[in-house]
Amino acid sequence: MSNDWWRTATIYQIYPRSFQDTNADGVGDLNGVRYRLDYLVWLGIDAIWLSPFYPSPMHDFGYDVANYCDVDPLFGSLDDFDALVSAAHAKSLKIIIDFVPNHTSNEHPWFLASSSGRDNPLRDWYLWRDAQPDGGPPNNWFSHFGGSAWSWDERTQQYYLHSFLPEQPDLNWRNPQVRAAMYDVLRFWLRRGVDGFRVDVISHIVKDAAFRDNPANPNFAGEGPDIARLAQTYSSDQPEVHDVIAEIRRVVDEFPDRVLIGEIYLPIERLVAYYGKELGGVHLPFNFQLLDARWDAATIANIIEMYEAALPPGAWPNWVLSNHDRPRIAARVGAAQARLATMLLLTLHGTPTLYYGDEIGIGHVDIALERAQDPWGMREPDLGVGRDPSRTPMQWDASAFAGFSTREPWLPLTPDFATRNVATMREDDMCILRLTSKLLHYRHAHSALGIGSQRLLHASDHVLAYERLQGADQILVALNFCHDTRSFSLPNGLSGAVALSTHSGRSGERVPAKLELRGDEGIVIKIG
Ligand code: GLC
Ligand code: CA
C-alpha cells in the first residue's frame, strides 16, 4: 500500500471570496484563510483546496484568469500567498490550488494579442474559426452558461470559442506553445510550494479537431439549460485529452509528493479513464456521483458498488458531497440527513472532499434578485441554475456580519447565522460541527477508515451498512436514510461498541446483535 498523503487526507474546499475578510471590503481574502488555519486544524482536515485567487475581471468570480502567476489585489498579494503556504505547512496542512487550463479571461495578455490581428503570433493560442456562409457560428455548440459557445470578433472577422462566458475564451491545447506556457505556470506554483492542483474542467481542454456539430441529447426533457440540449460528443472528453493530461502529470511529477485532481462530470466508465494509462493521469478524478444521487440507501449502495467495481487496479477512490457549483448537501437532503451524509462522506473508502460551510450545516439560502451575482444564474434566469446560494460567507460568530467581515458581505448570510456559526456551535456537543470534527479525528485515528478495505453489508429498508477493515482494526457503519426507526442485524458473530452517532447518548453503548437506529441516525461501531 502506497503511503501517498492524499489517500488518507480529507480535502477542504475554500471559496476564498467567502471564507474570511480581513480588510473590510466584504470579500474574503488569503490573509483570512491564514487567520482561520487553527480552526481547520481543530476541525481535523488535512488539505485545503483554494478556488481561484488570480488576477481576474471576475466575470466568473476568478475562473476567468487574467494572469496565472499572481494574486488578485482583492485577495492579497504573492507575499500573502507565500505566508499562507508557510503557515499551513507549519501546521501540517497541505495547499491545493485551482488550475484553470481550458480558458483564460478575455483580458489575459495572450487573448489581447491573439485577438489583435489574424497574423498575430498568438492567434492560434485560441480557437478562431470563420463564420458559416450565412454568417452564423461555426457549429452548434452551446456555452455552459447559455447561448452559443461562439462569439463574433468584429475586428478580425472571425468567431472564437468559449465553452463558458464570452469573457472566457478557450485556449487551443493542440498548440504546443500553449501547453509549454501552461506547464510553466504549473512549475511556478509548484516551486512556491503548493501540494497540488484541482484542475478546472480538465475533460474539456481538447476539442474535436474538425469541430463537428454535437448531436441532440436523447435525454433532454425539453426544458433545462441550453448546454443540456446536445450531447457533448465533440466538445469535451475527446480521446486525445488523455495524452495531454499525461503530459500535465509528468510536469507535476517533476516535484515530489504533489497531487493532481480533475474536475470531471462524466458517467463512471468515462470518468475512470482519467486515472490514465498505467495510472499516469490525474490521481483523483473527482467522483461527483453523490451530487445528484437519489438520496436513499439502495441507490447509494449501488453507486458505491458500481464505482468500486469500475476502478482500475491501483486507482484510489474519492467522494464529494457538494461544491461551489452545486447545491449544498443540507439544501438538498435537509438538516437531519445532512448529518448522515457527513458520516457517509467521512467513512467511505477514498479521499473525501468537504465543502466549507457544510460542517455548520448551511442549507439553502434565498438570494434576493438584486443581490444575485452568479453570471450563469443571470444568463438563464428562469432555470434556477444560479450558484450564489452555495457561495454565501462562512459564519464564524454571532456578531453583526458573523465574524466574516465588518461590513455587509458580497453575498448574504443565512437568516439564522446568530446560532448557525462556529463559535456557538463549538459549544454544542450534538451539533453537526462537532460531529464533523469527531468524524475527522476518528478517521485519523483508525487506519480502517483511512486506507482499509470496504465491504457492503446491507442496503435495504432504508438502511445502508458497510464495513471497513485494516488489520485488526474493524469498523462498521450503519446509516438510516429514513425518518423512522429501523433496525439492522450485525453479521454473524460480530459485536462491538458505538464509537460515534449522529444522535445523542449512545457513545460507548455495546451493540446488540440487532441494532435499533433512530430516524436519520447513523452510527460508527468499533468491532471488538
Ligand atoms: C468549473 C468551475 C466553475 C466555473 C467553470 C468555468 O466548472 O467549478 O465554477 O464556472 O468551471 O471555469
Ligand atoms: Ca477582503
Query: Over the range 368-380, which residues count as b (16 or more CB within 10 Å of their CB) and which as e?
Result: eeeeebbbbbebb
Query: Does residue 444 fall inside a structural domain?
Result: no
325 Cβ inside 6 Å of ligand 1: yes
The predicted-structure confidence for 463-494, as pLDDT tens digits, reads as follows 999 999 999 999 999 999 999 999 999 988 88
The arithmetic mean of pLDDT across residues 242-255, rounded, is 98
- Closest ligand relative to 406 C-alpha: 2
CA of 394 to the centre of ligand 2 (A): 13
Among 24-33, 168-177, 216-225, 349-358, the range scoring the smallest mean pLDDT is: 216-225
| Residue of 200, 324, 380 to test ligand 1 pocket, by largest number of atoms within 8 Å of CB | 200
Same-domain pairing of 184 and 284: yes
Residue of 208, 181, 200 whose CA lies nearest to 282: 200
CA of 63 to the centre of ligand 1 (A): 6
The pLDDT confidence band at residue 505, using thresholds 50, 70 and 90, is: confident
Average per-residue pLDDT for the chain: 97
pLDDT at 493: 83
CA angle 303, 351, 396 (to 5 degrees): 110
Same-domain pairing of 150 and 17: no
CA dist., res. 66 & res. 77, Å (int): 15
Residue closest by Cα to atom 7 of ligand 1: 201
CA of 174 to the centre of ligand 2 (A): 38
Question: Where a domain ends, among 439, 470, 492?
Answer: 439
Contact 19, 37 (CB under 8 A): no
Query: Does residue 167 fall inside a structural domain?
Result: no
Percent of the chain residues topping a pLDDT of 70: 100
Q: In the 3-class helix/strand/coil scheme, how is 66-116 assigned residue by residue?
A: CCCCCCCCCCCCHHHHHHHHHHHHHCCCEEEEEECCCECCCCCHHHHHHCC
Query: Does residue 448 fall inside a structural domain?
Result: no
Query: Which class for 486: exposed (0-12), middle (13-18), buried (19 or more C-beta within 10 A)?
Result: buried
The arithmetic mean of pLDDT across residues 167-189, rounded, is 99
397 Cβ inside 6 Å of ligand 1: no
CA dist., res. 21 & res. 393, Å (int): 9
The arithmetic mean of pLDDT across residues 352-363, rounded, is 98
Residue of 431, 398, 435 whose CA lies nearest to 413: 398
Residue of 297, 251, 257, 238 whose CA lies nearest to 486: 297
Same-domain pairing of 316 and 408: yes
Number of structural domains (the chain) is 3
Ligand 1 atom nearest the C-alpha of 376 is: 10
| Residue of 50, 61, 63, 103 to test ligand 1 pocket, by largest number of atoms within 8 Å of CB | 63
Q: Which residues contact 93 (CB under 8 A, 6 or more apart)?
A: 37, 40, 41, 45, 46, 47, 48
Q: Is the predicted pLDDT of residue 175 greater than 60, yes or no?
A: yes
The pLDDT confidence band at residue 198, using thresholds 50, 70 and 90, is: very high
pLDDT at 222: 87
Contact 378, 369 (CB under 8 A): no
pLDDT at 25: 98
Long-range Cβ contact pairs of 299-305 (< 8 A, separation 24 or more): 300/344, 300/459, 300/464, 300/481, 301/456, 301/459, 301/464, 302/459, 304/348, 304/454, 304/456, 304/466, 305/456
Query: Does residue 168 fall inside a structural domain?
Result: no
- Closest ligand relative to 387 C-alpha: 1
Query: Does residue 121 fall inside a structural domain?
Result: yes
Query: Does residue 363 fall inside a structural domain?
Result: yes
Same-domain pairing of 181 and 57: yes
521 Cβ inside 6 Å of ligand 1: no
Q: Which CATH number goes with the domain that contains 117? A: 3.90.400.10
The predicted-structure confidence for 259-283, as pLDDT tens digits, reads as follows 999 999 999 999 999 999 999 999 9
Residue of 408, 355, 389, 359 whose CA lies nearest to 51: 355
Same-domain pairing of 259 and 319: yes
| Residue of 53, 161, 325 to test ligand 1 pocket, by largest number of atoms within 8 Å of CB | 325
Parent domain of 329: 5-102+176-439
Q: Active site includes 467? A: no
Same-domain pairing of 474 and 387: no
pLDDT at 513: 82
60 Cβ inside 6 Å of ligand 1: yes
Please tell me which residue in 167, 200, 263, 521 is annotated as part of the active site: 200
- Closest ligand relative to 21 C-alpha: 2
Cell digits of residue 415: 437568516
Same-domain pairing of 80 and 199: yes
Same-domain pairing of 61 and 116: no
Same-domain pairing of 209 and 289: yes
Same-domain pairing of 157 and 214: no
CA dist., res. 213 & res. 220, Å (int): 17
200 Cβ inside 6 Å of ligand 1: yes
CA of 406 to the centre of ligand 2 (A): 10
pLDDT at 512: 84
Query: Does residue 287 fall inside a structural domain?
Result: yes
CA of 144 to the centre of ligand 1 (A): 9
pLDDT at 492: 84
The predicted-structure confidence for 69-116, as pLDDT tens digits, reads as follows 999 999 999 999 999 999 999 999 999 999 999 999 999 999 999 999
Helix/strand/coil for 405: coil
Q: Active site includes 200? A: yes
The pLDDT confidence band at residue 191, using thresholds 50, 70 and 90, is: very high
Ranges assigned E (strand) in 84-214? 94-99, 128-129, 150-153, 158-161, 196-199
201 Cβ inside 6 Å of ligand 1: yes
**Distance, C-alpha 163 to centroid of its chain:** 19
320 Cβ inside 6 Å of ligand 1: no
Length of the chain: 528
CA dist., res. 362 & res. 371, Å (int): 18
Ligand 1 atom nearest the C-alpha of 163 is: 6
pLDDT at 24: 98
Q: Is the predicted pLDDT of residue 1 greater than 60, yes or no?
A: no
Rounded to the nearest 10 degrees, what angle do helices 329-347 and 432-445 cross at? 20
CA angle 115, 117, 120 (to 5 degrees): 95
Residue closest by Cα to atom 2 of ligand 1: 200
Same-domain pairing of 344 and 461: no
Residue closest by Cα to atom 12 of ligand 1: 63
25 Cβ inside 6 Å of ligand 1: no
CA of 276 to the centre of ligand 2 (A): 39
The arithmetic mean of pLDDT across residues 448-472, rounded, is 96
Q: Is the predicted pLDDT of residue 2 greater than 80, yes or no?
A: no
List, as ranges, residues with CB under 5 A of the ion ligand 2.
Answer: 21, 23, 25, 27, 29
98 Cβ inside 6 Å of ligand 1: no
Q: Which CATH number goes with the domain that contains 17? A: 3.20.20.80
Q: Which CATH number goes with the domain that contains 499? A: 2.60.40.1180
CA dist., res. 501 & res. 181, Å (int): 50
Helix/strand/coil for 8: helix
Ligand 1 atom nearest the C-alpha of 324 is: 9
Same-domain pairing of 311 and 361: yes
49 Cβ inside 6 Å of ligand 1: no
CA of 313 to the centre of ligand 1 (A): 30
Residue closest by Cα to atom 4 of ligand 1: 63
Residue closest by Cα to atom 9 of ligand 1: 325
pLDDT at 3: 79
Query: Does residue 86 fall inside a structural domain?
Result: yes
CA-only gyration radius of the chain, Å: 23
